[in-house]
Amino acid sequence: MDNLRSFFYSGWEHIVDIQAYDHLLFVMMLCAAFKMTQWRQVIIIITAFTIGHTGALLLSALDIIPSNSKLIETLIPFTIMITAVINVIHYEKRGKFSDTKIKYGIALVFGLIHGLAFASGFKFMLFGDSIVIPLFLFNLGIEVGQLFVILLFMMLLWLYTNIVKGEHHKWNLFVSGAGFGIATTIFLNALYT
């Protein structure tokens, strides 16, 4: 039972660990353009990311797709950059993200890429013949970790819009711009190392 519990904790740590700042950054980029009132869309987007992540781990664990760590290290910051740009392009001055279906697709597809980053580590953790329960527990840990991060992120948004009286479109521009800049640095490092 302790071995099974470790899958949940590994999933949790995979997201909330400050060393995994690229995943934290991507989750924040997924949510930056959404207001507090759009919390349902945020949860769906985060779940879509987890589904993509799960698919990548499953395909890798079954040796259906190989994991090329150099390529994945380059693609992950690129996904953050694209998401940040889409935040700005599809944000309307009326104060909301204009097409949530785009974000659902991005979260799902880019979740596959992000899942491949941990695929080899997940395969190493497996024992026995069954991958269903470890995969479920690991991704449950990821989902809970992501929801925790988003809760903290949305609390900051609430403070910004209600206490500081900041405008949401400025929040989106700042967070997306900062995310794009950080991801560009990670992308260039991955490209040239």
Q: Give yes or no for residue 154 having a pLDDT over 90.
A: yes
Q: Give yes or no for residue 97 having a pLDDT over 60.
A: no
pLDDT, residue 121, reads: 65
Section 88-103 average pLDDT: 69
Query: What's the CA gap between 117 and 150, in Å, rounded?
Result: 21
pLDDT, residue 38, reads: 87
Confidence of residue 74 (pLDDT cuts 50, 70, 90): very high
Q: Which residues pair with 124 in a beta bridge?
A: none
pLDDT, residue 96, reads: 57
Contacts of 30 (CB under 8 A, 6+ apart): 42, 45, 46, 49, 83, 103, 106, 107
Q: Give yes or no for residue 147 having a pLDDT over 60.
A: yes
Query: What's the CA gap between 127 and 167, in Å, rounded?
Result: 50
Do the beta carbons of residue 17 and residue 145 sit within 8 Å? no
Confidence of residue 46 (pLDDT cuts 50, 70, 90): very high
The pair of structure tokens assigned to 68 is 């090329």
Query: What's the CA gap between 83 and 26, in Å, rounded?
Result: 8
pLDDT, residue 92, reads: 66
Query: Distances from the Cα of 48 to the Cαs of 63, 104, 111, in angstroms?
Result: 23, 6, 8
Query: From the centroid of its chain, how far is CA 19?
Result: 14
pLDDT, residue 130, reads: 74
Share above pLDDT 70 across residues of the chain, in percent, rounded to a whole number: 89
Query: What's the CA gap between 54 and 141, in Å, rounded?
Result: 11
Confidence of residue 125 (pLDDT cuts 50, 70, 90): low
Q: Give yes or no for residue 180 having a pLDDT over 90.
A: yes
pLDDT, residue 115, reads: 86
Confidence of residue 117 (pLDDT cuts 50, 70, 90): confident
Average pLDDT score, the chain = 86
Section 114-136 average pLDDT: 73
pLDDT in tens, 155-179: 999 999 999 999 999 999 999 999 9
The pair of structure tokens assigned to 26 is 């991507």
First-to-last alpha carbon distance for the chain, in angstroms, is 40
